[in-house]
Amino acid sequence: MRLAVIIPCYNHAHYVGAALESVLSQSRRADRVIVIDDGSQDGSLEVLKSFESRGVEVSAQENAGAHETINRLVEKATGDCELVAILNSDDIYLSSRLERCLPAFEQQKDLAVLSTAFELMDDHGQQLDCESARAKWFRAAWSLRGRDLPEWMGVCNFPATTSNVIARTDYLLANPFRPYRFNHDYYLLAKSVLQDRFVLVDEPLLRYRVHANNTITTAPAPLVREMLRMHLDLAAALAPELKTDRHLRGRYAKFRRAGWESISSFDAGGAEVAFAELAARASADELAALAAASDDVEDFPNRHLVNTHDGESPVTEVTGLSGKLDDMRAERDTCRDSLAAARELGRLRGQVSATRKFAFGRLFGRYRELVSDRGKTAREKLENFKAAAQRAGFDLS
């Protein structure tokens, strides 16, 4: 798979040379290295141009902001690169980052976004003082390592930065970075986690620079407001899928519930006020229609909390037996769905393979999509087969 490393640069003349060197010295070389200088005024562009002779593609623009610059870089990479790795101009890749991360995309066709563990460095490239406020925050965030990913993401943006994003280009085109000042990485990462299209490589393969000019260093009010807006935008974007995907609803519920324990700038109470305000603006008929939309209820959703209660621990304790039962119920539902999809896939494959059209086409090497096993789950394989059969003109009725 071809990969482009894309670098948005703004006033980082002191750092961007080291960032580029870390890309050019990768054990698995990038197929393209593309940089846009976003209106720097400190000589960054001159530093960038000194790397053109080594194959780095450099262009400049008037200042447009990080999110817009990254989106433009993605568009530049789209033509011939299936993957994009983002690197901010003040951060550094460890030498084996691309080599260690790319195989995951070959092995998992539905994987959209990947992040890794990372090291913290200061303004001078030295290990960040472990007693600094930012080091303590990251230590707290990664103390949740191993926790369910939607819950962990609900508590904090643990991947931390757009430099920690390697993604399929088509996913980034379909989900461009939004016009946030602080949270454009958090939104993308949270969405991919909730869609179950995210993987964490738990190995430090990035050096993230913490210094006085980090975007996150700001007064609390703008960040709190933008965090709330991000959660509202995320709810709106996921709403169509939430109606039909029970597994997504489960992950989203964990994400929202974990938000009450957020160590970031998320005001969970404020979010509930905002959702209440939105509900207040709907008519009685609209609210009734929303309530009636839950048409797949088969049982009282929380009955098991009482049925499995041991008579001693708090009944709402979700990390005990009741929490395990939740996971087992979800696994049972997944197994049932997978079995049903596998049976349907077998039936449809038999139906198609029995036709003369299929037998004749295979003699000439056609219908390769119909004999492939593309998809991570049985349900995905079924949907891929149906789509391929439809494109090939087979009647599956």
| Helix boundaries (H) for the chain | 16-24, 44-49, 66-77, 97-107, 133-142, 149-155, 169-174, 184-194, 220-244, 246-258, 268-280, 284-292, 303-307, 321-353, 356-363, 368-371, 378-391
**Exposure on the CB side of residue 110, measured as CA atoms within 13 A:** 16
Closest among 322, 306, 224, 240 to 273, alpha carbons compared: 224
For 328-371, the pLDDT digits (tens) are 666 777 788 888 888 888 889 889 888 988 888 888 888 888 88
Burial annotation 45-81 (CB, 10 A radius, 16+ → b, else e): bebbeebeeeebbbeeeeeebbbbbbbbbbebbeeeb
Outline which parts of the chain fall under CATH 3.90.550.10.
Answer: 3-219
CATH of 3-219, one of 3.20.20.70, 3.90.550.10, 3.40.50.720, 3.90.1300.10: 3.90.550.10
Report how far residue 74's alpha carbon sits from residue 168's, in angstroms, rounded to the nearest whole number.
10
Residue 126, helix vs strand vs coil: coil
What is the pTM for the complete model shown?
A: 0.78
Over residues 251-264, mean pLDDT: 93
- Pairing of β 83-86 and β 3-9: parallel
In DSSP terms, 113 is beta-bridged to: 167, 198
Phi, psi (degrees; rounded to nearest 5) at 27: -65, -30
Q: Is the pLDDT of residue 317 over 60?
A: no
For 160-213, the pLDDT digits (tens) are 999 999 999 999 999 999 999 989 999 999 999 999 999 999 999 999 999 866
- In 10 A of CB 108, how many CB atoms? 13
The helix-helix angle for 66-77 and 184-194 (nearest 10°) equals: 60
Residue 298 is encoded by which pair of tokens?
A: 């088969």
Phi, psi (degrees; rounded to nearest 5) at 168: -70, 135
